[in-house]
Chains A and B, each alone.
Chain A
Amino acid sequence: MAKQKKNGIPRRDFLRNAAAGAAALAAAPALPAKQPVPERGVTPPPAMSPAAEVETPSPAEVLTADRTGSDFMVDVIKSLNIEYICSNPGSSFRGLHESVINYGGNKNPEFITCLHEESSVGMAHGYAKIEGKPLLVFAHGTVGLQHASMAVYNAYCDYVPVIVIGGNIIDATKRMPPVEWTHSVQDAAAMLRDYTKWDDLPISLPQFAESAVRAYKIAMTPPMMPVVLIADGELQENPIPPDAKLNIPSLALATPPQGDSAAVAEAARFLVAAENPVLIVDRAARTAAGMPLIIELAEALQAPVVDMGGRMNFPTRHPLNQTWRAREEIGNADVILGLELADFWGAIHSYRDQMERTSRLLTKPGAKLISISSTGLFFKSNYQNFQRYPEVNLDMAADAQATLPSLIEAVKKQLPASRKSALQDRGTRLAAAHQQTLQSARESATYAWDASPISTARMCAELWAQIKDEDWSLVSTIQFVSRWPMKLWNFDKYYQFIGGSGGYGIGYGAPSAVGAALANRKHGRVSVNIQCDGDLMYAPGVLWTAAHHRIPLLTIMHNNRAYHQEVMQVQIMADRHSRGVDRVKIGTTIDDPGIDYAKLAQGLGMYSEGPVSDPKDLGPAIHRALDVVKRGEPALVDVHTQPR
């Protein structure tokens, strides 16, 4: 370790003294006697003073340091094998910023320039779902975390690990007025504490090392969630004390919790004895290893699988995939196994939003409900994302993916040979139903096939035709396009789908897509984003980030020119009050003028086409954009679409 050149005076003491001295030197001669002193914040810059420029610093002053706390922090970050830091720059972490790009060589981690903190966290969210590990977000401890907060909430609800480091200046006597005061806070993590798993404010470098490693470990232990560290500005920028005993703890990730062996055996007994077992999967496949396990369990039981789409759980063209026959299978089930099912109650009830809100249980009387979910291991009170209380018969507070091997083993062990024929019959019936469902979906897609605006079915079919022979990855949600990709495309690899936002906070789509594409880049995959117009406009600058960092991503704009969900919501109210529906577009549509997303993307440095409103033009436009993406650049095609 290099020694600091001069000991004794912390950096900020020097800066404060130097600033005061320079101001006195520059300003005092220029101000006539009794002239009012300008208010703080409007003081004109001091005139260049030859005397000041040649002034020799006091022998006690320290002007440089070879190694500061932020360098050590980068050592810690590197030890965690973190690839990227997504960040919008901020002075409260300038020390860390500079250490990353210079001391750390801007590699592992590499600084990714973001134009909004919500984009930073959204990118981290999408990245983690492809790569299976977190990246870092740097943010101002005040305004930056405030910008980031909604995206942190999405990641929290979606059980995704993200590590946020917020800058702050704890010692009030070291803050430079005025901005550092307004950008400092007593308890920076407080604003995120309701929807993060853990946070800390280390006050020494050894503590930072421990806290950072602990933060990584906590974030990665199911249920995975965002964590926050606050990095004090003094700790970042002060030289490392010569007597500092620095150590970076080793990281050993905690093994995910498995279901209790007795409970697993009982669950197997229920499933084996069932005439009509059903598996409902949501965030069940935590990693790529999860999907084969779900397939193995389903095939062992020849049980239908209903995929709620929280992750890529089950191949869309597997004969046991009965997602589109959910009502029939759930209504007929005598045992239902929910795997990381975010809303068990909602999965087995229908709900009707009329003047009197009503619900109806869909299951048969006596149907047994089994839940395996790690979400039961960690609860907070304020935000209500835990959903309605489900009355299950057997509840394993455990990670579903980690529990599946023992459950599969127990099921296979308990299945009597005499059941083989019945199971085969069930499988045959389900395979036929699956084929019929696929055929029905294709038939449905033919409706409005030649319509303009373009139907979402046509858009998704045209996109599939272009990418089906590539190594593709859909990095966007599908709920706003009638889930057509799940009906028409062949999903059979884990990275081909990443689920939704979790918290339903708009503004997630574009940044998470860019983050997932960033993760896909080194694998050479074609990342595809079906992008909602309203979502993009929350923080469209993320398109520039994609262009700047050469992140290949094919974005297809689902441009329905509205916050369409809200159009429908206001219309419901207008109908309920019998006041006419003429005005429901007020405050809900994004039209007059319509936004030209092709020009927007072009202005942000991206190849673009559109708007395309004739369905015949869509395939060729996507093909040209795909060529750009395959060359390693992002591209966007704006499509005028039907609402959903």
Chain B
Amino acid sequence: MKAEQICSYIAIAAALAIMPIAVRSAEPRATSTQEQASKASTGNAQKGKLVFETLGCNKCHGSEGEGVAGSGQGGGVPRIASTSLAPPAFIQLVRKPKGVMPPFGSDRASDSDLADVYAYLQTLKTPAKQESPAAANTSNGQRLFVRYGCYECHGYLGQGSTSTGGTRIGPPQIPLSAFVSYVREPTGQMPPYTAKVVPNEDLTEIYNFLKSVPPPPPLKSIPILNQ
């Protein structure tokens, strides 16, 4: 089959990436800050872990909410383990986030769900991850990145492509645990890579390579991109 039809509306499709599935709850919605605070402080951490994963919070913030210290244009992902936000502020931020995080409305997660997530996050004590690319085996990671065909959709430096739908992952803007989690069980179009195909150690080396990708030159320094 000439499968170019996949690319027909690929740029549009890339923009239409599937969002994490909604979590629906029959519980009534909170109507005031007091109610939110009250519910959040009494959230169920065990349920919260389930909601955390179902909503896909771990896909960006890491399986332990550890986040990733950011640099360059991406800015990293905030650490949310043991968040210091007050419960109402936490819920408000989830409803109307700043930056690239998608909003989670009450149709996808009730206040009660978020209270459970909040309670779960308070149980996590993981420090923020600070990667050290210099110490990593980046050349082997680069070799593995090519060998496993990651470059096919993401480009040789992980720059991404709207034709393939591969997002920019060089440097990655999510923690290693979220990176591994996504590769194993992608929510979008990416095919799943099982541990049988790519062992965790290799994924770690690929991650380290991607972290080592130098930041691009400043846009202003490239005259032909300013025409």
Binding site for B on A (CB under 8 A): 306, 308, 323-328, 330, 343, 346-347, 350-354, 360, 362, 442-451, 453, 455-457, 461-462, 464-465, 468, 479-483, 488, 500-501, 504-506, 564-569, 571-572, 574-576, 578-582, 584, 619, 642-644
- Residue B12 contacts which of A306, A456, A572, A578 (CB distance < 8 angstroms)? A306
Query: Hey, which chain A residues are within 8 Å of B227, CB to CB?
Result: 464-465, 468
Considering residues A343, A352, A446, A456, which has the most beta carbons from chain B within 10 angstroms of its beta carbon? A446
Query: Hey, which chain B residues are within 8 Å of A353, CB to CB?
Result: 6, 189
Residue contact A644 to B163, C-beta cutoff 8 Å: yes
In the bound assembly, the distance between CA atoms of A216 and B21 in angstroms comes to: 53
Known: A504-B2, A644-B164. A451 touches B157 (CB 8 A): yes
In the bound assembly, the distance between CA atoms of A326 and B219 in angstroms comes to: 25
Residue contact A447 to B163, C-beta cutoff 8 Å: no
- Residue A447 contacts which of B12, B168, B226 (CB distance < 8 angstroms)? B168
In the bound assembly, the distance between CA atoms of A578 and B184 in angstroms comes to: 11
Residue contact B191 to A352, C-beta cutoff 8 Å: no
Query: Hey, which chain B residues are within 8 Å of A456, CB to CB?
Result: 161, 163
Residue contact A442 to B149, C-beta cutoff 8 Å: no
Other contacts beyond A445-B225, A571-B191: 10, CB < 8 A: A306-B12, A323-B11, A326-B16, A343-B8, A350-B16, A354-B192, A480-B7, A483-B162, A571-B152, A643-B153
Query: Hey, which chain B residues are within 8 Å of A448, CB to CB?
Result: 155-157, 159, 170, 216
Residue contact A450 to B225, C-beta cutoff 8 Å: no
Chain B residue nearest in CB terms to A504: B4
B31 interfacial by beta-carbon distance below 8 Å: no
Query: Hey, which chain B residues are within 8 Å of A461, CB to CB?
Result: 222, 224-225
Query: Hey, which chain A residues are within 8 Å of B218, CB to CB?
Result: 446
Which residues of B in the span 210-227 have a Cβ within 8 Å of any Cβ on A? 216-219, 222, 224-227
Minimum distance in angstroms from B16 CB to a CB of chain A: 4
Query: Hey, which chain A residues are within 8 Å of B10, CB to CB?
Result: 479
Chain B residue nearest in CB terms to A570: B149
Query: Hey, which chain B residues are within 8 Å of A580, CB to CB?
Result: 197
Known: A442-B225, A465-B224, A479-B8. A450 touches B217 (CB 8 A): yes
- Residue B155 contacts which of A325, A326, A581, A644 (CB distance < 8 angstroms)? A644
B13 interfacial by beta-carbon distance below 8 Å: yes
Which residues of B in the span 165-188 have a Cβ within 8 Å of any Cβ on A? 168, 170, 188
Minimum distance in angstroms from B151 CB to a CB of chain A: 7
Query: Hey, which chain A residues are within 8 Å of B7, CB to CB?
Result: 479-480, 565
5 tightest A-B contacts by CB? A575-B191, A447-B159, A446-B216, A504-B4, A448-B159
In the bound assembly, the distance between CA atoms of A354 and B161 in angstroms comes to: 20
Residue contact A566 to B3, C-beta cutoff 8 Å: yes
Query: Hey, which chain B residues are within 8 Å of A451, CB to CB?
Result: 155-157, 159
In the bound assembly, the distance between CA atoms of A447 and B157 in angstroms comes to: 8
Residue contact A565 to B160, C-beta cutoff 8 Å: no
Residue contact A326 to B12, C-beta cutoff 8 Å: yes
B98 interfacial by beta-carbon distance below 8 Å: no
Residue contact B193 to A362, C-beta cutoff 8 Å: no
Chain B residue nearest in CB terms to A442: B225
In the bound assembly, the distance between CA atoms of A501 and B194 in angstroms comes to: 37
Residue contact B152 to A568, C-beta cutoff 8 Å: yes
In the bound assembly, the distance between CA atoms of A641 and B12 in angstroms comes to: 23
Residue contact B11 to A324, C-beta cutoff 8 Å: yes
Binding site for A on B (CB under 8 A): 2-13, 15-18, 73, 147-149, 151-153, 155-157, 159-164, 168, 170, 188-189, 191-194, 196-197, 216-219, 222, 224-227
Residue contact B15 to A327, C-beta cutoff 8 Å: yes
Query: Hey, which chain A residues are within 8 Å of B147, CB to CB?
Result: 581-582
Residue contact A446 to B225, C-beta cutoff 8 Å: yes
Query: Hey, which chain B residues are within 8 Å of A347, CB to CB?
Result: 9, 12
- Residue A488 contacts which of B151, B156, B189, B225 (CB distance < 8 angstroms)? B225
Minimum distance in angstroms from B192 CB to a CB of chain A: 6
Residue contact A446 to B188, C-beta cutoff 8 Å: no
Chain A residue nearest in CB terms to B170: A447
Residue contact A449 to B216, C-beta cutoff 8 Å: yes
Residue contact B17 to A504, C-beta cutoff 8 Å: no
Minimum distance in angstroms from A158 CB to a CB of chain B: 12
Query: Hey, which chain B residues are within 8 Å of A505, CB to CB?
Result: 2
- Residue B18 contacts which of A360, A501, A643 (CB distance < 8 angstroms)? A360
- Residue B3 contacts which of A443, A450, A569 (CB distance < 8 angstroms)? A569
In the bound assembly, the distance between CA atoms of A571 and B147 in angstroms comes to: 12
Residue contact A479 to B163, C-beta cutoff 8 Å: yes
Known: A565-B3, A575-B197, A576-B191. A442 touches B219 (CB 8 A): yes
Residue contact A482 to B224, C-beta cutoff 8 Å: no
In the bound assembly, the distance between CA atoms of A483 and B7 in angstroms comes to: 11
Query: Hey, which chain A residues are within 8 Å of B194, CB to CB?
Result: 575, 578
Query: Hey, which chain A residues are within 8 Å of B151, CB to CB?
Result: 642-643
In the bound assembly, the distance between CA atoms of A500 and B17 in angstroms comes to: 23
Chain B residue nearest in CB terms to A360: B18
Known: A350-B18, A505-B2, A575-B197. A480 touches B163 (CB 8 A): yes
In the bound assembly, the distance between CA atoms of A346 and B13 in angstroms comes to: 9
Chain B residue nearest in CB terms to A508: B4
In the bound assembly, the distance between CA atoms of A581 and B219 in angstroms comes to: 36
Chain A residue nearest in CB terms to B166: A644
Residue contact A581 to B226, C-beta cutoff 8 Å: no
- Residue B16 contacts which of A362, A453, A582 (CB distance < 8 angstroms)? A362
Residue contact A642 to B4, C-beta cutoff 8 Å: no
Query: Hey, which chain B residues are within 8 Å of A326, CB to CB?
Result: 11-12, 15-16
Chain A residue nearest in CB terms to B162: A482
